Amino acid sequence: MNLPPTLNGERVLVALGGNAMTSPDGSATPEAQRHAIEGAMKRVADLVAAGARVALTHGNGPQVGNLLIKNQLAAHVVPPVPLDWCGAQTQGTIGMLILNALEGALAARGLASPVAVVVTRTLVDGADPAFGAPTKPVGRYFPAADARRFIAMGQSWAQAGERGWRRVVASPEPLEIIDAPAVDALMSAGYVVVSAGGGGIPVVRENGALRGIEAVIDKDLVAALLGRHIGADILVIATDVDHVMIEYGTPRARPIGRTTPERLRRLAADGEFASGSMGPKVDAALRFIAGGGDRAAISSLDLIGEAAAGTAGTVVEREATGRDQRSSDKNTKPGR
């Protein structure tokens, strides 16, 4: 992969989707996860080799789902741990796998870039309306009798048709990445940094202290916020398709290539992007650009280098005048 010289030195934040963490059939066995992550890190290493300064975020849905199953099946033996604990555990586990795989992929290319993992917290508002109406499904389906047992423990569950019942949790708006300064400092020291896995560990501030809270924060929206905190130039949202599509599922379906923020906003307002799939990714791309980013791209994992360069995927950019001004500001910022 050959990226243009103009990308050299740019801060590129790559938000890895679930396809980077599991096998193509969705298997999340330890071996399947290790194999998938090793493949993904080869693409990330190519990006580093091209001169980009890289930060990574990642999903953790299947992994948290597995922990919740263990919670539920063993609830009569050991007390279930809260969801924020599950998020922290999966950040550590996936971070370790990425750390090992990326170090190996970089070494294979003769690169000595160090890699670090930051267990990351994301601040939310305890009064966010999402807590009053939890809708984000997590974990597996259970029969009604089991769901009633977990409801008695204080959990929220919803019936999902013939498949049974499924736990639902709040998905509040991310307000601040608490540990972003550590990510920024490590990047300035030359590290490739993995952080904000699964949208970060949700925390609220009470009487000046932070406390974990049970919720799932959208990982792509968190990536957009993290990008603003660390001064990322480019956000690449890696998913399992090459482009965002319009009129998806119809004979008129067609990909969106290079586009403008205005057009994406208009399409989103027209309901083109489903809330459970492309909607949050498009929203994240628009937020990143609105927050000062130069380029946001949504594409497949295999094309993250080309997407970062703006030559593949669905690409949206700031106006040239704004980008030129931001480049001038960036070049005078300490630590950059």
Instruction: Point out the residues that are catalytic.
Output: 18-19, 136, 219, 281
Neighbours of 39 (CB within 10 A): 16
Strand ranges, E, within the chain: 11-16, 53-58, 115-118, 121-123, 136-142, 157-159, 165-169, 176-177, 192-195, 201-206, 209-212, 234-239, 244-246, 254-256, 258-259, 295-300, 314-317
Question: Distance between CA 188 and CA 64 in Å, rounded?
Answer: 31
Strand ranges, E, within 100-191: 115-118, 121-123, 136-142, 157-159, 165-169, 176-177
Q: Residue 267 half-sphere exposure, CB side, CA atoms within 13 Å?
A: 21
Question: Distance between CA 147 and CA 336 in Å, rounded?
Answer: 51
Q: Helix/strand/coil (H, E, C) string of 239-264? A: ECCCCEEECCCCCCCEEECEECHHHH
Q: Phi-psi region for residue 152, left (φ > 0), alpha (ψ -120 to 50) or beta?
A: alpha
Q: How far is CA 165 from the centre of its chain?
A: 27
Structure tokens at 203: 């925390």
Give residue 112's identity as a one-letter amino acid code.
Answer: A
Beta bridge partner(s), residue 314: 298
Question: Distance between CA 110 and CA 26 in Å, rounded?
Answer: 32
